[in-house]
Amino acid sequence: MIRNPIKWPNGARCACAITFDVDADSLIHIARPDDGHRRLYPISMGRYGPNSGVPRILETYRRLGLKQSFFMPGWVMEQYPETVEAILVGGHEIGHHGHLHEDPAEQSAEEQTYWFERALEVHRRLTGSTPRGYRAPVYNVTPEVLSLAVQHGFTYDSSMMADDLPYRIDTTSGSLYELPVHWGSDDWPPFAHFDEIGYKMPVMSPRRGLEASFEEFEAQYEAGGLWIGIWHPFLTGRLARWRVVEHWLEEVLSRGDVWFAPLEEIAAYAASQEAEGTWQPHREPAAPYTHPVLMEKKR
Ligand SMILES: [Zn+2]
């Protein structure tokens, strides 16, 4: 069912990572640069993540013995250093997620370099190390930002969607793994209701909203693939939704053949399999097109 399958460690049937993008209130400040600071309701909605969501999530991970991945914008790390500390104390990974959740696709190459490196400086200062992984805000990864990640020694990106398993992408500066995401396992469509940034969707019930992610997981479990949840503490960290996730985690872990790991470990494992010659990832250029693809005019 999956081409070029990989043998996961310790006889695991599939690999799994819940990744939380801790955007907090960066979203309203970047969307409304002039008056975002006065919009207290969206600020408070974002602040729920560091205040209540992340501690709840970390407590569950501690109880279940899980180490997972978090992605944080640099500005959020500076605003919420105790959140950074709590995530690190739990042994989890913190990946690069821009500085103020700025969209790389809207920026010049120079601007992308400036913001990428500004956030990188925050990571080094607050965590003592360089992140291994990058996830573009709103998945809007560009050829330039991928090259930056390679230049700074990152081993993976997690913003693109072209395969079921880790695959290799070649940038002009070298290559890294792509640990693919997908909207089907993202909590934004079922749960985000955020008029100020252009989302006004009916909010689904906790169980229904999470069902999509869980079905994606079951398909990967059956096929021996990799499932990545792309969730947000201010959405899925809410009490009723997290209760559903906790029950799901307990059931999945009781199967005994699911490998939960931070993305950096999954990328390192893929690299080890490739180096041993036991597995060959799908490989493609990070940017398949170098010029705009013009539509032929209809006559
Ligand atoms: Zn984000």
Distance CA(93)–CA(95), nearest Å, equals 6
The pLDDT of residue 295 is above 90: no
Distance between Cα 23 and ligand 1 center (Å): 5
pLDDT value of position 274: 97
Q: Average of pLDDT values for 48-67?
A: 98
User: How many angstroms separate the alpha carbon of residue 170 from the centre of ligand 1?
Assistant: 24
CB-proximal residues (5 Å) to ion ligand 1: 21, 23
pLDDT of residue 140: 97
Q: Distance, CA 165 to ligand 1 centroid (Å)?
A: 22
Alpha-carbon distance 244 to 207, whole Å?
A: 6
Query: Which of the residue ranges 178-182, 262-266, 285-289 would you say has the lowest mean pLDDT?
Result: 285-289
pLDDT, tens only, 182-239: 999 999 999 999 998 888 888 999 999 999 999 999 999 999 999 999 999 999 999 9
| Overall average pLDDT of the 15-30 stretch | 97
Greatest Cα pair distance, the chain, in angstroms, is 65
Q: What does the pLDDT read at residue 299?
A: 56
What is the C-alpha separation between 208 and 193, in angstroms, rounded?
A: 16
Q: Which two tokens stand for residue 143?
A: 């050829």
Q: How far is the CA of 132 from the centre of ligand 1 (A)?
A: 17
Q: How far is the CA of 102 from the centre of ligand 1 (A)?
A: 9
The Å distance, Cα 136 to ligand 1 centre, comes to: 8
Rounded to the nearest angstrom, the gap between the alpha carbon of residue 188 and the centroid of all alpha carbons in its chain is 12
Instruction: Give the pair of three-digit tokens for residue 2.
Output: 């999956």
Q: Please give the pLDDT value at position 199.
A: 86
Q: What is the pTM of this model?
A: 0.97
Q: How far is the CA of 137 from the centre of ligand 1 (A)?
A: 5
Q: How much of the chain, in percent, has pLDDT values that exceed 70?
A: 98
Distance in Å, CA 72 to ligand 1 centroid? 8
pLDDT value at residue 62: 98
